[in-house]
A and B are shown apart, each in its own frame.
Chain A
Amino acid sequence: MINIFEIREAISMAFAAIKAHKMRAFLTVLGVLIGVTTVIAMVSIITGLNKSMAQQIESLGSDVIYVTKSEIGIQFEGPSEEERNRPPITFEDAMAVEELCPSVEAVSPQNWGPGAKTVKYRDNKVSRFQLIGVMPSYEVVNNNYIEEGRFFTDSDVNYRAMVAVLGYDVVEVLFPNLDPIGKEISIAGRNFAPKRFRVIGVMEERPSILGESQNNFVLLPHDTYKKLYPEEKELLLVAKPKNPELLDQAIDEITQVMRIRRGLAADKPNNFAVATQDDIMDIYRNITKAIYMVMVVISSIGLLVGGVGVMNIMLVSVTERTREIGIRKAIGARKRDVLWQFLIEAMTLSGSGGILGIIVGLLLGQLVAAVTPLAAGVSLFWIILGFSFSVSVGLIFGIYPAYRAARLDPIVSLRYE
């Protein structure tokens, strides 16, 4: 088609042209740069997310079942009318599941409720934390154990003891260099005055998820919590099967028990949701899919804008260099030689934008990795893909200008001023 030396010549001429008009070249490929940057940055962030998500979801234990009022997932418009009208998951539901499901080892009803305002010890104060009412089964079901002191007992629950177990983050702020066990803290809620609680334990530290610490909580015995929030009925119900092989069977049993308790006819759908770690993984995958879609849209727009920019600048370039085209034809360049020269130039231009985009994208990924706990990284596949796309943009949008250049009559172009 055309020889290797012409290709080299065209590439070096293209770089000379870029060097001669640096700003113009940069503005031209800005779109391509943004498009490729988006791909590389998003992919490296998603790769980082994937790594830590997979790890963290594993660390929660893959054999846990969640029972909730509405479906777990991303709902952009919030829960539907039907979902809002569902009956809440109650403590009684939890007890029934524990009693009637032979494959379930333990259930942990967790009352997340509206939360509290502040927790204080002397002058130290934490104002953003989760206040959760739990049962003694919390430890085993959540695979998260006490590190210091003791966990709640049945009598703590029954007597509504004013005791608390703290998460690691809360301890660090309230008791920077004190042993928290036995100390009195004060918790103020949204609708109750500060109340005193005695610290009886500290939970072991859990790995953070998506950069969100999992240790920023205060646990209270379930019934104690009920006393603070009497009208809070809604629970998160977490159940653990006797062993991982019984997971599916446990789900069936739980579903059956819940349907019977709610008197659902055989043809009615569930008015509650049962999900496992796998389902949560799926939800996460759907989120990444959505991010990928956004990425595709942004980068497509970027590449399109970049492509139009490349086409425009190449048309200008063809006009500016009419005489050069005439010279090349006079000394033996064929139509296709000129065509390829300009195509290669367009590809070099957009490809340079692509390389810049890859660099900026990688840097952004590294930045995210540096400021968040995500291990951002991107595979060679995406780098090659980003580069190929940027080069293709030059090829596609360079065709028309290159065709115009190739078609020029040598005599007319030699006379061009």
Chain B
Amino acid sequence: MLIRTQDLWKIYEMGREKVNALREVSLEIEKGEYAAIMGPSGSGKSTLMNLIGCLDTPTKGDYYLNDKLVSQMNDDELARIRNKEIGFVFQTFNLLARATAAHNVELPLVYNGTESEVRKRKAREALKMVDLEDRATHKPNELSGGERQRVALARALVNNPALILADEPTGNLDTKTGHEIMNIFKKLHRQGNTLIIVTHEHDIATYADRIIYIRDGAIEKEERKKN
């Protein structure tokens, strides 16, 4: 089992009020799975993704990634997991504006001390995966939205992570470009990557083998594609 969460709670305290962003979420995802998380706005999708992505820690409950108890790790260990095991794709791309596409893709490798030559090679390979080798020297503002998201995808997979997470990756793209991105995800899945994407759109969710519905911070139901 790649991911196993047990009664995860995330409670935000806003003064006297408490927001239960996640309530008793227990979830298992296997290596090589392609899962989509759906749910209304404010239901806790991003909160769950941030926990799975080790950007945040749960208020209560346990989270095991690769059988390691992540919910008890310290900041440095979490940073290392984010760097090595997880590739994150965001709705707003989140690229460094001043850096070229290639530099953006190389960045995760900088933080694990990869040699410059190796970094360049891996960045080139990752950009090739998303069909963007010819834009390597472009800055984000010289790229279209779809191209930016492809750079972000290349960055997410450059370290060969165990898990790729995407929080509404098509949210800022038109339908056609969105589907182009989803086709790349499909390709990545076929190559054996484990993917979890958050989306509002049913069309997009159907790319996944499994759809998890969340409402008010709890898992409501699940659907699996039969094949």
Chain A residues close to B by CB (< 8 Å): 3-6, 9, 13, 16-17, 20, 323-324, 326-335, 337, 410-411, 414
Contacts of B98 in A (CB 8 A): 13, 16-17, 20
Return A325 CB to nearest CB of chain B, in Å.
Answer: 11
Contacts of B55 in A (CB 8 A): 329-330, 410-411, 414
Return B212 CB to nearest CB of chain A, in Å.
Answer: 21
Measured CA separation A414–B53 after assembly (Å):
13
Question: Given A6-B111, A13-B98, A332-B111, does the pair A411, B79 have CB atoms closer than 8 Å?
Answer: no
8 Å CB contact of B108 from A3, A16, A331, A414: A331
8 Å CB contact of A332 from B56, B94, B112, B119: B112
Q: Are A331 and B84 in contact (CB under 8 A)?
A: no
A-B contacts, 26 of them at CB < 8 A, read A4-B113, A5-B114, A5-B116, A6-B110, A13-B98, A20-B98, A326-B94, A327-B95, A328-B111, A329-B55, A330-B82, A330-B88, A331-B82, A331-B107, A332-B80, A332-B82, A332-B84, A333-B111, A334-B76, A334-B79, A335-B76, A335-B79, A337-B79, A337-B111, A410-B56, A411-B56
Q: Say if the beta carbon of B90 comes within 8 Å of chain A.
A: yes
The residue on A at minimum CB distance from B116 is: A5
Q: Are A332 and B114 in contact (CB under 8 A)?
A: no
Q: Say if the beta carbon of B50 comes within 8 Å of chain A.
A: yes
Q: Are B94 and A9 in contact (CB under 8 A)?
A: no
Contacts of B124 in A (CB 8 A): none
Contacts of B84 in A (CB 8 A): 332
Measured CA separation A13–B107 after assembly (Å):
12
Q: Are B96 and A332 in contact (CB under 8 A)?
A: no
Q: Say if the beta carbon of B194 comes within 8 Å of chain A.
A: no
Chain B residues close to A by CB (< 8 Å): 50, 53, 55-56, 75-76, 79-80, 82-84, 88, 90, 94-96, 98, 107-108, 110-116, 119, 155
Question: Given A332-B79, A332-B82, A334-B75, does the pair A411, B111 have CB atoms closer than 8 Å?
Answer: no
Return B108 CB to nearest CB of chain A, in Å.
Answer: 4
Q: Are B79 and A327 in contact (CB under 8 A)?
A: no
Contacts of B107 in A (CB 8 A): 9, 328, 331
8 Å CB contact of B94 from A330, A335, A337: A330
Measured CA separation A386–B18 after assembly (Å):
56
8 Å CB contact of B50 from A17, A324, A411: A411
Considering the complex of A and B, which 6 residue pairs feature the smallest CB-CB distances, nearest first? Answer: A332-B83, A3-B113, A334-B79, A332-B111, A331-B108, A332-B82
Q: Are B112 and A323 in contact (CB under 8 A)?
A: no
Measured CA separation A13–B113 after assembly (Å):
17
Measured CA separation A411–B57 after assembly (Å):
11
Return A152 CB to nearest CB of chain B, in Å.
Answer: 80
Measured CA separation A332–B111 after assembly (Å):
6
User: Taking each of B53, B95, B96, which has the highest tally of chain A beta carbons within 10 Å of its own beta carbon?
Assistant: B96
Contacts of A323 in B (CB 8 A): 94
